[in-house]
Structure 1
Amino acid sequence: MFESFFYNFNVFGVADINECEHEGVCQHGVCNNFQGSFQCICDPGYVLTADRSSCIDLDECVRSPNICNNGTCLNSMGSYQCQCYRGFKIGPNRDCIDVNECLINVGLCVNGRCRNTEGSFRCECADGYTLTPNGEQCRDINECSERDDVCPAPGRCQNLMGSFICDCPEGFILAHDGMSCIDVDECTTVENICENGECINGRGTFQCVCPPGFEVSPDGTKCIDHRQEECYERYEQGTCLEPRPVRILRKECCCSSGAAWGLTCDRCPHISSAEFEKLCPLGPGRSESGADLNECEIMPGSCQGGDCVNTDGSFRCECPMGYVLDHSGRRCVDDNECAVSSVCGNGTCSNVEGGFECSCQDGFAPGPMQVCEHNY
């Protein structure tokens, strides 16, 4: 804004004085001479003195107290300057405007969200993070060392960025909140635990208590029957018949085609039943470990009149020359060679135990194979 003033002189017959040529007139402004007067037009930032003959500095900071909101106003000759507070900068109108730190500083609030505020900003940290002392970053919270309620013994705490993992030892499982380990009651949650015995639960473990004649298995999960009793080949109307000559385990008896076992004549389960599959999981002729059962040892005398040969998962009977197996496959009976026609050729066949004899016709005699041949 330009300020000006006219001096008017109404003097007739006197020559005009050019005041603009006088020293000190209209300093910091422009002087315009007129007939009998002059005018001062002040430069921007200046105002007229009281006598209107010159221009002096305008103190904008005093004249307009709100000129530098969010900053400090510093007056200068013919002008002023705003010195902005932290978080503000000079705007297009020379005033102080907010600095959006979230836009101009991409390194702020890592692992969180930057929120701009008037003259500042704030970091909103993600779960598992907390503000650094300067408030400019989000650091990981080490739950394993900074919290007392995370993964107490016997759990093992492993810190992760923004989180943690609670590892539980064998016999424990992670709680639903993921912050602690709770005991597993194997006695109620594990199927067939401590079979043939009693299960006693403990913290992180369990114990099988076995009855007499049973022993805990090497893995401690069941009771193994070590009782050895008679094995029977036949079971009729609740009666056990034809005992084998050696005492063996129930499993060995029933998995080797036995009919019943023990002092109480406990009948063996049918080969196609679920109980048999449980007792002999790998089928007939095999132990629970998968090893072959040697029937020739646990079934002595099973091949009457012949030799027992153990095979993988079974056995067979081999008969001496002159004998064949009967329908049971376990007994060697005499083979009637005379039933085969022409066995003696030119003679008459007579069966004997374990062989045969040939009575030859005249002119014939028994050869090396008993067949009647010409007698030359």
Structure 2
Amino acid sequence: MQNEALLQRKNNATPRGVGVMCPFYADTALNAELWDVEGRRYIDFAAGIAVLNTGHRHPKVMAAVREQLDRFTHTCWQVVPYPSYVELAEQLNRLAPGDFQKKASLFSTGAEAVENAIKIARAFTGRAAVIAFSGSFHGRTMMGMALTGKVAPYKVGFGPFPGEVYHAPYPNTLHGVTTTNALDSVRALFKTDVDPLRVAAIIFEPVQGEGGFYEAPADFVKGLRDICDQHGILLIADEVQTGFARTGKLFAMQHHAVAADLTTVAKSLAGGLPLSGVIGRADVMDAAAPGGLGGTYAGNPLSVAAALAVLDVIESENLCERATQLGNRLKSHLTSMRESLPHIAEIRGPGAMIAAEFFEPGTLIPDADFAKRFQARALELGLILLVCGVHSNVIRFLFPLTIEEAVFEEALVLIETAMKDAAAA
């Protein structure tokens, strides 16, 4: 098979609305490396958009899936339950932040987890409204798009969206939004847009993903907790991208002194298989009536088996510590390049959730063209990177936390070469 022929077949068979970044097609992958159908090798710093914290085809994960394949692939949890679902729920309840009794429900995708968290919050509070933040990403379903704080490409042409969803600015000092600004904007909504007694939940990402890898300051998270406690509002932490060791903790909320009432998880939970979940206060999770939650494929047994193996790998291979070590090395390498590359406006991120943001040199103008050139040149050199940010001027580095040392060092060289070539273009 040839990439060019497959590209033509793809264009004829699939809609343009599903954007595809790479012009080549995967054949095999292992840990942090991927080979296309023509045999070319790439280093994968996209990891399926933060899905492969444990890398492509981790042996423990593959063994767990193979074992489950020999038992059964599907019964539908709501029809015939199975022990592994219970075991995974117990582990997630034990590991998730919050010093309270928890329960967990499993689903298939991050957007599905977010939808169900909103359903649960509305059932518990008897309220309808939800507050989210600018720059946020919560999925491509109708409610997910309503919550998402970025128009293009996610919302263009798809409205109207579900009502009673409100947005406030997310703190972002690089772009002039302080914690005080953000919290005051939430309170202002209560004066101008919605009675706080109608608000079921505030949903936020502890580190914004698609929005640009901006980390929520500790005083902002505490401020949200205080606002929620004052008005009987539930706090939802969307940990779909931040979860499972990416930020140097199993959950990003473990960097904070307060806990959310509900936590959504997905992406790296099952090492590449589709699985998501909502973990939360037991009394809140029990608010929905029997039959109100679920899904035909929710908590698929193959995915559950993979997730149990993923949790074992994270602990046994000390991936939280490794995330911080590798992330610090990457940040140090990027920082050393700033003097010769004035396009770099900021390098940020906890653990291995690292991003570089680019401005036009000597200005505060986001430089999306530079980010695009950098990404394209890296791809030519054999390194897969992702763009993010409201202005599309941020590159995020989502390498598997299991990446081999030699491959990581090779990637650092490619990053520097690609960035310098982009600056010279």
- Higher normalized contact order (CA 8 Å, seq sep 6+, divided by chain length): 2
TM-score tier after normalising by the smaller chain length: under 0.3
- TM-score of the aligned structures, taking structure 1 as reference length: 0.16
Choose between structure 1 and 2: higher strand proportion: 1
Normalising by the residue count of structure 2, what TM-score does the alignment of the two structures yield?
0.14
Q: Between Structure 1 and Structure 2, which shows a larger proportion of helix residues? A: 2
Between structure 1 and structure 2, the one with the greater Rg is 1
